[in-house]
Amino acid sequence: MLEIKNLHVELAEEDKAILKGVNLTVEAGKVHAIMGPNGSGKSTLAYVLSGRPGYEVMEGTATLDGTDLLALEPEERAAAGLFQAFQYPVEIPGVGNMTFLRTAVNAQRKARGQDEMSAADFLKEVRAKAKELKIDADMLKRPVNVGFSGGEKKRNEILQMAMLEPRMCILDETDSGLDVDAMKLVSDGVNALRDEGRGFLVITHYQRLLDHIKPDVVHILADGRIVKSGGPELALEVEHNGYADILAEVA
């Protein structure tokens, strides 16, 4: 479903190569995890796929169901079914969370040629999904992410994901800043969305998240390349021995 081939990416302003030939395929229904030391390019990979400005693709391709993602605007990538849960969700004063969610849902429906969701249907759905994530009415009314705790921000990301029902979900260090209970809540939210038509790319530093969201494949990203791929046991190996052994082994 998501196919990344030989992806080379530089930071536009610094002329600095971050990704140096990433190859990765995520099949529908599978959860792939990416682990790797700080600075290895994990977040860059997520941002390049979702279309954040500031990165320059030097070489390679990234497609979602055959569609060239890199040629699309961020909103077109979202409409094509891509979703990134951000490590640092942005606070947007003055834009109500509910207005934001409804605008996003309807913009995507419109882009796909579907009818807009009625206010009543939307409200019913958002309330049900918010409840599962323990997001109360007040959080829905407040401006997007403003005054939210770290955990609330992450839950709000998962709520957006649940409402938008993307084909391909990228979770960028969704576990960072979460306590044990919040991690469970967020993971349950993600697991509820797992189905055979949907792919996941879970970026994390720690194996702990992968106890909750069980991956099918684990990749190790180091210095802009995937240096090793394996089953869930690879994450355990990292947890026990760190990255040094793996990096030494592939060097």
> Site residues (CB under 8 A) for other proteins?
50-53, 73-75, 77-79, 83-84, 86, 89-90, 92-95, 99-100, 103-104, 107-108, 111, 143-144, 160, 164
Q: Which is nearer to other proteins, 111 or 137 (CB)?
A: 111
Residue 155 CA to residue 178 CA, distance in Å, equals 10
CB of 133 to other proteins, least distance (A): 17
Q: Which is nearer to other proteins, 39 or 93 (CB)?
A: 93
Beta strands at 168-172 and 82-85: parallel, antiparallel or unpaired: parallel
Q: What is the DSSP string of 45-57?
A: HHHHHHT-TTEEE
Residue 17 in tokens: 């190569």
CB of 104 to other proteins, least distance (A): 4
CB of 5 to other proteins, least distance (A): 23
Q: Which is nearer to other proteins, 111 or 250 (CB)?
A: 111
Q: Which is nearer to other proteins, 48 or 217 (CB)?
A: 48
Q: Are 55 and 47 in contact (CB under 8 A)?
A: yes
Residue 46 in tokens: 């997520």
Edge-first strand order for the sheet with 217-222 is 82-85, 168-172, 199-203, 31-35, 217-222, 225-230
